[in-house]
Amino acid sequence: MRHLICGIDGYIGWSLALHLAKDGHEVYGVDNLSRRKNVEEVGSWSATPIPSMAERVRIARDIFGVEIGFFQGDLLDYPFIRDVVKNSKPDAIFHLGEQPSAPYSMISRENAVYTQENNVIGNLNLLFAMKEYANDSHLIKLGSMGEYGTPNIDIPEGFFEVEFRGKKEKLPFPKQPGSFYHLSKVHDTHNIMLACKLWGLRATDIMQGVVYGTRTKEIIDDGLLTRFDFDEVFGTALNRFCAEAVVGHPLTPYGRGKQTRGFLALVDSVQCLTLISENPPEKGEYRVFNQLDKLYSVNQLANIVHREGERLGLKIEIENIENPRVEKSEHYYKVDHKGLKRLGFKPTRPIIDEVRIMLEDLMRFRGRIAQKMDRIKPRVSWKEGMPRLEEQSTPNYVAWCEKA
């Protein structure tokens, strides 16, 4: 098959590109490299050193003999994405090309506006390009489990049947997200639903849980590594804990640590995305999958990192800190996720095994993490944003590394 990956330079984008290319598919990718720029802007970097896109393409060619086509450009630039879609005529378009961080969207008005404009208009441009030049393609759009929020009832896969005043109706499940980033994904969801109805596009909207891991079957060489963010803005809770563990910093769950979310290994995210591309919906169909393996609370994650880290000889403490976010500290959370299993999805990587590999990988890059340890502590308040970067103190945390 011929695949186009928007956001090929990202954490999942690059892992997916390697998998599909090695699997014999024709793979094209676009990226504006904004993830690198935005992580740099908040004063951090990927714990894993990642080569430039030109080098990535070359290394993939050298190791696997595959040819990944890369086009640098922005989804906000319609002639650019239109021409890529028109010329590549993909069977599937994986849209992973959005600003992916909730905290980043909460830093300031500028960041909220940037996130919604970048994500919503970029996605609209892609829909119009498909309408004009790839009406039969399958849009595989990365949404987020965070779109749903944490309602006090079960979360179905996109739709639910309700009875209201004696009449039954299948309705989209209402979305109650908790950040301007998650809202941008909700806006996308609504826009995609209409595009399918109006123009007969086919789309799969993925409500994905939090993805963890540093490895896929294809990441067999340091030159093939995908990025790994650990700062407070772009790092997930689990990534932050792993980074803290390897430099001897206490693990810092936010609040009481009972917030619960769905999780999935990187290799299994790639497995799901591939399965979805092999099983497209009908023309005009808007389909939703909740893409996750298991649920964990923040404290459970900290405990897993604590246990696996100590097995590797690390000395680890856990210190819950004030939660900068506005979210329920304890809540009901039950999520349907049978759709992908019906397509054949089998989770392959238990979180415990994967955390051990993550810690082993990160121990090799301890120096890179230590240099940016001042970027782990939360500064972005959901109520107040983040003080301007220049106003922040930047103590030297390299000491953490030496202690460790």
Interface with its own copies (CB under 8 A): 78, 109, 112-113, 116-117, 120-121, 124-125, 128, 151-154, 156, 160, 162-165, 167-169, 171-180, 183, 186-187, 190-191, 193-194, 197-199, 326, 332, 382-383
Q: Is 74 exposed, middle or buried (0-12, 13-18, 19+ CB in 10 A)?
A: middle
Which amino acid type is present at position 307?
R
Q: Output the smallest distance, CB 97 to its own copies, in A.
A: 16
Please tell me whether residue 161 adopts helix, strand or coil conformation.
Answer: strand
**Residue among 161 and 390 whose Cβ is closer to its own copies:** 161
For residues 147 and 175, the answer to whether their CB atoms sit within 8 Å is yes
**Residue among 156 and 250 whose Cβ is closer to its own copies:** 156
**Residue among 168 and 342 whose Cβ is closer to its own copies:** 168
E-strand stretches of 250-305: 260-265, 286-291, 294-297
**Residue among 109 and 388 whose Cβ is closer to its own copies:** 109
Please tell me whether residue 259 adopts helix, strand or coil conformation.
Answer: coil
Distance (Å, rounded) from C-alpha 121 to C-alpha 188? Answer: 9
Q: Output the smallest distance, CB 300 to its own copies, in A.
A: 24
Nearest to 273 by CA among 80, 100, 25: 25
Q: Output the smallest distance, CB 275 to its own copies, in A.
A: 27
Distance (Å, rounded) from C-alpha 218 to C-alpha 267? Answer: 9
For residues 263 and 351, the answer to whether their CB atoms sit within 8 Å is yes
**Residue among 185 and 372 whose Cβ is closer to its own copies:** 185
8-state DSSP, 221: S
Q: Output the smallest distance, CB 176 to its own copies, in A.
A: 7
Please tell me whether residue 188 adopts helix, strand or coil conformation.
Answer: helix
Quote the tokens at residue 297.
């609370």
**Residue among 169 and 402 whose Cβ is closer to its own copies:** 169
Give me the DSSP letters along 57-78.
HHHHHHHH---EEEEE--TT-H
Q: Output the smallest distance, CB 50 to its own copies, in A.
A: 32
**Residue among 326 and 352 whose Cβ is closer to its own copies:** 326
Q: Output the smallest distance, CB 122 to its own copies, in A.
A: 10
Distance (Å, rounded) from C-alpha 58 to C-alpha 77? Answer: 26
**Residue among 135 and 348 whose Cβ is closer to its own copies:** 135
- Helices 298-311, 237-247: axis angle to 10 degrees equals 30
Quote the tokens at residue 43.
């004063």
Distance (Å, rounded) from C-alpha 302 to C-alpha 304? Answer: 5
